[in-house]
Structure formats: C-alpha cells, structure tokens
C-alpha cells in the first residue's frame, strides 16, 4: 500500500485528490478524526502498532512513506 | 500585560465561539453528564473518579482567574460545549493548558484548534507567559493531531505513565513558546 493510498482510504477521498506533499498542515480533509483513521490504516498496512515516537512522526506523505518502508523492512527481517 | 485584570472573569471571542470564565451558575446536569460519559472522558483523568454535582460546583469555584482559569466554550447561541483549563506558575511564567469538548457533535469540527488558538493568544500575549504546556496519552491520536497541526513542540514523553482501556500508555507533553506563537500568529495576520 502506498502512502497516498493510506491517506485516501483513511480520509475517504479519491486518491487523485491526495497531493504528493499532503500534510496535516495543508491537506484539508486530514483533520483530527481523520488522523485517527490514518494511523489505524497505517498500522494495519505494516501489521503492527506504532509506538508513541513513531506516531509523533506522522505528519505528511513522506513520513507515512518512511513508516511503510520501516514496516516492510521489519517484516523482511522476521 | 494585556487588558485582563487578574481576579476578574475572562471573556474571549473567536469566529464561532465565546470563551469565558465558568461560574457555579454554569454547573448543571448537562455539564455533569459529560464527566460521567466514558466516551467523553476516555482520555481524561476525571473519568476515573467522576464528581457529583456538589463536587463539580466546588471544582468550578476553585478557579480564581489569577493562577487558575476554567474557561467554558460556548456557541454564539449560548450552548456550553466544552472547557479549557489553564493553571499558571507565575514565577516561571509557564501555564499548563488542557481541553475537553463534551458535546460530541462538535468533535472533528476544529473546535480545539480555533478555541485553543484564542486562549494561547490570551496566555502568551495578554498575560505575557513564556510557555504553555499541554499533554495527552499516546493512544489519543486526535489530540496528537491537534498539537502537531497547531505547531506545538514535543516536550517530553513519560513512559507507561497511565493505563488506558487496559493498556499501558505513554503521556506525551507538548509546548508552545511565546516566541513560536507570536512568530506564527504574526505571520498569519
């Protein structure tokens, strides 16, 4: 799952409407309740809960992408 | 120091809301019901041992509008929908600020962002405080969003501090400094 797909799915918006630089400061559909869904969708995608430090990093497409990559690496190591 | 005279009630306005000092006249079954609603108090310590009406009146009366402020959030039509509470350490010019939105129909409608911005203006500009601190548990992702969206800095994590829904959770502190807030809000003007 790509970072943009995480946002589109969690925020119930078309993936075409998710800019590549979407962030919590600029992307209107990304609100507080949407953020809950974003984190849950991301956790489902990587197959584990994020810890507090990781949750704090999730602020835009790039940080979601990084979390996905870390999640994939962790799976590959197992 | 702004126009506020310490010890007197506060009244602030935003586009959608009136924020004013709570009095015991504002205490009733409506407000009490929030504190007994597990959904409302899920991330609040008050839910562990919710007060009765007399205790709630005492709690409200205990705020002096000098070092402790309990500010009700009211719609323009007068509906009480939540509170913000600030406790100030005058010597250090630091405040702790917390927020509760009791009316669930207002969740997800940016009430916290709008009303907390006005209270930050009050604390950091009118009262000339140096720093405002807030916090939430690590499972309160909506609150984390609001702090990040509003530009608060992370200010430390207390590991495994609380139990929430049967799980150990961290307590995350955030800080807004006067210099950051004035730079941010001046830029927005």
Q: Which domain holds residue B182?
A: 11-188
Question: Which of B135, B120, B136, B134 shows the shortest CA–CA distance to B178?
Answer: B120
For A10-59, how does the pLDDT look when each residue is reduced to its tens digit (9 = 90+)? 999 999 999 999 999 999 999 999 999 999 999 999 999 999 899 999 99
For the stretch B131-182, pLDDT in tens is 999 999 999 999 999 999 999 999 999 999 999 888 999 999 999 999 999 9
Q: 3-class secondary structure for B45-69?
A: HHHHCCCCHHHHHHHHHCCCCCCEE
* Domain carrying residue A51: 3-77
Query: CATH number of the domain that A7 lies in?
Result: 1.10.1200.10
- Tell whether B108 is covered by a domain: yes
Give me the CATH number covering residue B47.
3.40.630.30
Count of the separate structural domains present in chain B: 1
Whether residue B109 lies inside any domain: the answer is: yes
Token pair in block for residue B113: 């962002």
Q: For residues B125 and B95, what is the distance between their CA atoms, to the nearest angstrom?
A: 13
Residue B34, domain member (yes or no):
yes
CB < 8 Å to A51, chain B: 138
The interface predicted TM-score (ipTM) is 0.85
A1 in reach of chain B (CB within 8 A): no
Within a domain: B67: yes
Evaluate whether residue B2 is within a structural domain: no
Taking only residues 6 to 25 of chain A, the set having a beta carbon closer than 8 angstroms to any beta carbon of chain B reads: 24-25
- Residue B1 domain-assigned? no
| B83 occurs within a structural domain | yes
Round to whole Å and give the CA distance between B157 and B77.
39
Q: Which of A25, A32, A33 best probes binding to B when mutated, by most B CB atoms within 10 angstroms?
A: A32
**How far is B80 from B74, CA to CA, in rounded Å?**
4
Interface membership of A32 toward B (CB under 8 Å)? yes
Give the number of domains in chain A: 1
């Amino acid at each position: 799952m790509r970072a943009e797909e995480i946002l589109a799915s969690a925020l119930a918006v078309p993936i075409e409407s998710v800019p590549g630089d979407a962030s919590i400061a600029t992307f209107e559909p990304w609100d507080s309740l949407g953020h809950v869904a974003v984190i849950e969708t991301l956790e489902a995608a990587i197959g584990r809960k994020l810890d507090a430090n990781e949750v704090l990093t999730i602020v835009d497409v790039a940080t979601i992408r990084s979390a996905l990559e870390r999640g994939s690496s962790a799976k590959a190591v197992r | 120091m702004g126009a506020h005279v310490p010890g007197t009630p506060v009244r602030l306005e935003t586009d959608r809301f009136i924020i004013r000092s709570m009095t015991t006249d504002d205490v009733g079954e409506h407000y009490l019901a929030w504190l007994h609603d597990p959904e409302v108090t899920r991330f609040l310590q008050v839910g562990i041992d919710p007060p009765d009406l007399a205790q709630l009146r005492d709690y409200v009366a205990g705020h002096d509008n000098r070092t402790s402020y309990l500010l009700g959030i009211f719609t323009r039509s007068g509906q009480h929908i939540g509170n913000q509470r600030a406790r100030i350490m005058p010597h250090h010019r630091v405040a702790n600020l917390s927020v509760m939105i009791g009316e669930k129909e207002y969740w997800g409608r940016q009430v916290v962002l709008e009303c907390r911005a006005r209270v930050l203006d009050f604390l950091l500009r009118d009262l000339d405080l140096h720093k405002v601190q807030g916090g939430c548990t690590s499972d309160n992702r909506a609150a984390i969003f609001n702090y990040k969206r509003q530009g608060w800095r992370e200010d430390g994590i207390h590991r495994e501090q609380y139990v929430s829904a049967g799980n150990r959770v961290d307590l995350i502190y955030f800080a807004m400094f006067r210099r950051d807030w004035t730079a941010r809000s001046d830029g927005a003007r």
